[in-house]
Structure formats: structure tokens, C-alpha cells
Copies of this chain bind each other. A is one copy, B any other.
């Protein structure tokens, strides 16, 4: 025999012992007194040992009952703690949110949401893992992050993609090229100026290269950089015309340290997407964060 007590009985036993009264235990558990009486009787019969002395004031543990209680009390406390913890996780009073993405997206796009999220749920620990788009996808599949933030398009049957925000890339220049401020350039005309692009393997770089190619031109940057900050800084210092995401330079455009170089040809918008694993449950924190962003 495997001593197969229904664990529910231990909950009843715990409260009966704790309150010293079957009636009180019944009230605590929203049961009737006979139900509790019956439950205790079952335990006693299964163990073949009396657990309580019954008297007119209530019940009292037998020595054997005390032995059982010393174990069960700890066990029940742990379960209570577990339930509290799970409630905290669900209410986002605790837990963690692990996001993967590129540094620039974090800085210019995710950060305000993270601030908002952290303010609203200060108990949730935040983990940011930066990496390239393929790295982020790997992180996701390995379960190291809950959520990826990357440029679209992404085609992967394992991934759930939520397009969340549209970004508009554009060319910007600093004071040195102020003459262009009110002009509208053709692609050919633009190519006369030194161009600063993001490094070769970025999605933005590929997108703009394809665009020029579709019009029969080839864009060859004078300078290649590896960070959005440098794209901006180089343009401000007049080293060339940078291809950047307009939303990432809104401050510079406002204060006038940069201006947008308008083109005859419309530049394609790009989208930011939130990646999660398809068919994998989302944590409460990730779910809440996605809701926040949308």
C-alpha cells in the first residue's frame, strides 16, 4: 500500500490542529463541521492511528497527531507561500521580464516603455540582452529571453510576430550642408555627397541598398559605422549625410543641429516587431509589456 491519502485531507488536518476545533476548521475552510469530522476520521483510519483526543471543548492532538502535525505544518506553510508567490507573479509584484534587441532600439524605442513598465511594476526584475536580430531569435528559441524587439520583416514559423511601431528612415545632414535644407534631391544627386551608413549586416543598410538598386543605382558609403549614435554624431560634424531612423534623431531635428535631406523618391517605412515564441506560453510580465507597447 502506498499510503495514498488525498492531500486535501492534510489541509483539513492542519486547520483542525491549528485551531483545536473541528468547528473552527470548518469555518476557516468554508466547510461544514461534519465534513471536517469525516475528513479527520478518514486520515485516522488510513493511518490506523488516532490523531486527536475529542473533548467537550474541541479537539487536541494525540502524541501521534503531534508528530504528523510537525511535518504537515511545514508543508502547508510552504504551500501557502507558494500560492502567495504565484499570486505575486500574476499581479506582477514579482517575477522578471527578459527582453532581447539591439542597443539602438532599446535606447530610442524600448526605453520609455521599460520606464513606464518599471514604474507600474517595480517588483519585476528587468533583463536586457542586446544582440543582432539573428542572435535575438536564437535567445528566444533557447528560452533565454521572453521577448525580442527587432526590425521587420521576420519570417520564421516558430515565431509569433507583432508589428508594433512604424519607423521612417531618412537622410539627415548637419550645418555644413545647410544649402540642401530646402532642396528636394534625386537619388542621383544624393550620391554626389558623402554618405554615412550603418554597418553592412544591418537591416536598414540592406533596405536602402535594395532601394537604390531598384532604381538602377548603387549606394556606396563614404563611412560605415556600427552605432546609431555615431551616425548622428558624424552627420552633425558635417562628415556626410547619414541614413538614420527619423524618430531616433527627433531631438536633433527639433533643435536644428540636423535637418532632413528630402528626396524625390519616397523611402520605405520600416517596422519594429515584437517577437515571441509561437506555441509557447507568455509570462505575465511579457504579456503585460506587450499590452503596454500596443
Contacts and interface: CB of A to CB of B under 8 A. Distances in A.
Interface of A: 3, 5-8, 10-11, 47-50, 53, 62-64, 67-68, 71-72, 74-76, 78-79, 81-83, 85-87, 89-90, 95-96, 143, 280-284
Interface of A, helix, strand, loop or mixed by DSSP: helix
A79 B69 CA distance: 10
A47 B90 contact: yes
A68 B81 CA distance: 9
A78 B86 contact: no
7 contacts: A47-B89, A48-B284, A62-B281, A64-B89, A64-B95, A64-B283, A75-B78
Given A53-B280, A67-B86, A6 B8 contact: yes
Contacts of A3: 83, 86-87
A85 B63 contact: no
B283 A63 contact: yes
Given A64-B283, A85-B71, A283-B63, A79 B10 contact: yes
A68 B68 CA distance: 24
Given A64-B283, A71-B85, 14 more contacts: A3-B86, A3-B87, A5-B83, A6-B8, A7-B7, A7-B8, A47-B87, A47-B89, A47-B90, A53-B281, A62-B281, A62-B283, A67-B86, A72-B82
